[in-house]
Amino acid sequence: MTGRRYTGSADGAAKGCRAGLKVLIDEIVSLSGNSLWNNGDFVVRNMRGKETLSVHATGRAVDLSYRFIRAGKGKKDGRAVALQWCRLLTEHADAIGLEMIIDYWPEPYGRAWRCDRDGWVKYERKMVSGAPHGDWLHVEVSPKMADDPAGMKAAFEKIAISLSGQISG
Ligand SMILES: [Zn+2]
């Protein structure tokens, strides 16, 4: 499916990390064996260097780092795991209400996936601070799925199945 509308920060500041997003974070951290870890979800602030409210303030965005710090946080092949999750999340985008992923690593300026174009675009100029070589993914979900923890959980049961298929296949 293509062309789901992108919300951005249009729904305004929330009171905290929303229940559906919490499920997504817990599931990704667990299914990735802590290769991806929560480096920040809810915070009320503007986008870095901009006047617009960050989507982190809506309680629908998380930064998932794949930085290897010490036992329990990250793995040495973190980038490969992050790429696997970029594929998994975009393949299941409609089920989890995925609206955006920013991948800060690729040169020269990173890349981003968005629901309204249903695909990745490589940034051709400086769009986000942290790119290139930022070792985390910024992930946003829709207001609907941010408030539907049961639906999110069900979607991740399917993701877990495709993940085990990828490992054994
Ligand atoms: Zn972020």
Give the mean model confidence (pLDDT) for residues 33-57. 92
**Band of residue 97 on the pLDDT scale cut at 50, 70, 90:** very high
Cα(39) to ligand 1 centroid in Å equals 9
**Band of residue 2 on the pLDDT scale cut at 50, 70, 90:** low
pLDDT at 130: 94
Does pLDDT of 114 surpass 90? yes
Residues with a beta carbon under 5 angstroms from ion ligand 1 = 63, 138
Cα(168) to ligand 1 centroid in Å equals 32
E-strand ranges in 24-133 read 37-38, 61-65, 98-103, 111-114, 119-122
- Greater pLDDT, 46 or 152: 152
Give the mean model confidence (pLDDT) for residues 79-92. 97
**Beta-carbon contacts of residue 166 (< 8 Å; ≥ 6 apart):** 84
pLDDT at 168: 56
Give the mean model confidence (pLDDT) for residues 121-147. 97
Listed residue (110, 116, 112, 101) closest to 60, CA to CA? 101
pTM of the full structure = 0.94
Does pLDDT of 18 surpass 70? yes
Does pLDDT of 120 surpass 70? yes
Cα(169) to ligand 1 centroid in Å equals 32
Cα(62) to ligand 1 centroid in Å equals 6
Give the mean model confidence (pLDDT) for residues 74-86. 94
Strand partners, 111: 103, 122
* Per-chain mean pLDDT for the chain: 94
Does pLDDT of 44 surpass 60? yes
